[in-house]
Amino acid sequence: MGYSGKWRERERARQLRAESWTLLDIARELGVSKASVSVWVRDVEFVPKPRNRGHASHKPHPLTVKKQAEMERCRADAAVAIGQLSERDLAMFCLGLYAGEGSKTYGTIGFANTNPTYLAITVTWLRSQFEIDESRLRAKVYLHEGLDLEAAQAFWSMVLDIPMDQFSKPYRAVADPTRRTSKHANGCATLLYSCSLTHRRVMAMIEAVTSSFAIPG
């Protein structure tokens, strides 16, 4: 089982990443989502190409240099600690995501997030772990007014690999000036799959994991 059925695109993405292509450039070259590329090449060593800054000399602040070095060390340590992920690792990650943010309403798998990687991994896991009827997969977009709805739906359609005609009516949110003004360009997408058996199986797997931990008291 892989993280996507598009194995040719995945192998090409890994090759381009090794040649120092950015995630966005790879996504555009292959016609896939940046989220998919990120998952495919996460273990490929990446050395950024030096940028041509002309004759201007901008020496970074020492604290900035230190912070960047620490971040790189953390990434390197994390890559070694995590290593190559297995099918079980993927399942545990997705169960953790669903336990925290998935719908507990009986009979429906529902998972909403603004992070395309989380949604791409979750839908990939569902398709590989269970017998999914693709025609019953649904998606819904929550997007602030004033943002490009058509572009957002096209983005999530590509991330989830769900056709546009299986998207439910979107929710257009009106910005509240008393709250934070930051907006996600592609909004928040909800993945939906109505199947009592699949929902019971997911919740049973979560229970099997949590019951393995002793709760003090």
DSSP of 77-123: HHHHHH-S--HHHHHHHHHHHHHHHB--STTEEEEEES-HHHHHHHH
Q: Which residue has the higher pLDDT, 36 or 137?
A: 137
Q: Which pLDDT band, with edges at 50, 70 and 90, does 91 fall under?
A: very high
Residue 1 pLDDT > 50, yes or no? no
- pTM, full prediction: 0.68
Q: What is the mean pLDDT of the chain?
A: 85
Q: Domains in the chain, start-ordered, CATH in brackets?
A: 7-47+64-82 (no CATH), 87-175+184-210 (3.10.28)
38-47, 91-100, 143-152, 175-184, range with the lowest pLDDT: 175-184
pLDDT of residue 58: 64
Q: What is the mean pLDDT of residues 4-26?
A: 81
